[in-house]
Amino acid sequence: MHPGGKGANQAVAVARLGYPVEMIGRVGSDGFGEKLRAKLGESGVDASRVRTSEGPSGVAVIVVAPNGENAIVVTPGANAQLSPADVDENADAIRGAGAVLAQLEIPFPTVRRLAELCAAGNVPLILDPAPARPLPAELLAQVSWLTPNETEIAGCVAAGEGAGSADPLALAERLAHLVRSGVLLKLGSRGAFLAAKDGLRQPVAALRVEAVDTTAAGDAFNGAFAVGWMMGKTPAASAAFAAAASAVSVTRAGAQPSMATIEEVERLRAETGGG
């Protein structure tokens, strides 16, 4: 068993890279709840805004194939109790953030309220649209960076608005015009593709490593992209930094335990010539 959850994984990814991060979320009143909160603290995440809901914590069963690929079944548990009221209660932290990372393992109305608050305060919102679902235009207009993988991106487009396209790059092109800054399309072992609203189109090379477990590689990517951006890197340089962090993460098992330190990222980039 490993601590996980997309939001928690991304928070740990940021903390392991040495950047300060707070998490807003909910765990259950079961035996997992306090362990999850404690693990966040041990990883350097400020978990003081993680509340406890009566009932079970969120859990996931993950099956990993011999090539490192995975399949996941998630039971949301306390994550389903995170409400728009939780967003409003923590509005001060959100307005004061350099960037906000979010995903869709929490109720959609909560994500929408978060996006409204971020847009009103001009706080960059990085949204990982997983599990995938159609995203309305008004929400996309409040998102700075959308970070789907090539499976999820088709689910982001509403019916009648290009959802029939099977080409992830074409969908990234379309969505790049609807968000505030751009789309980072994660392509697994093939790297990523950056489609910025300002017209920049940049393939991001993957770094060659021996994959053990791809669980949370996308979360490692998102957390590192946010850190790169906060360090003042360009979107393209942030994406290259994120690709290296993701590559480190797939070389070991688990979700949060696989997250990279900045020393590991820079060492891998030096060894592989990854910029």
Q: Which of 273, 213, 203 is nearest to 244 (CA)?
A: 273
Q: Which two tokens stand for residue 258?
A: 């696989």
**pLDDT per position in the chain (275 positions), as tens?**
888 899 999 999 999 999 999 999 999 999 999 999 999 999 999 999 999 999 999 998 988 888 878 788 889 999 999 999 999 999 999 999 999 999 999 999 999 999 999 999 999 999 999 999 999 999 999 999 999 999 899 999 864 455 556 799 999 999 999 999 999 999 988 999 999 999 999 999 999 999 888 888 999 999 999 999 999 999 999 999 999 999 999 999 888 989 999 999 999 999 887 65
In whole angstroms, what is the distance from residue 271 CA to residue 187 CA? Answer: 22
Task: Specify the residue for token string 């548990």.
Answer: 77
Contacts by 231-235, CB closer than 8 A, 24 or more apart: 231/19, 235/145, 235/181, 235/182, 235/194, 235/196, 235/200, 235/202
Exposure pattern of 154-181 as b/e (b: 16+ CB <10 Å)?
A: bbbbeeebeeeeeebbebbbbbbebbbb
Give residue 167's identity as a one-letter amino acid code: D
- Residue 94 confidence (pLDDT): 98
Q: Which residues pair with 149 in a beta bridge?
A: 186
What pLDDT is attached to residue 215? 83
* Domains located in the chain, CATH noted: 81-272 (3.40.1190.20)
The whole-angstrom separation of Cα 113 and Cα 134 is 17
First to last CA, the chain: 35
Give 223-257 as a DSSP string.
Answer: HHHHHHHHTT--HHHHHHHHHHHHHHHTTSSSSGG
The whole-number pLDDT of residue 69 equals 80
Q: What is the pLDDT of residues 92-135, one digit of tens each?
A: 999 999 999 999 999 999 999 999 999 999 999 999 999 999 99
Decide: pTM greater than 0.85.
yes
Coil vs helix vs strand at 22: strand
Residues assigned a catalytic role? 219
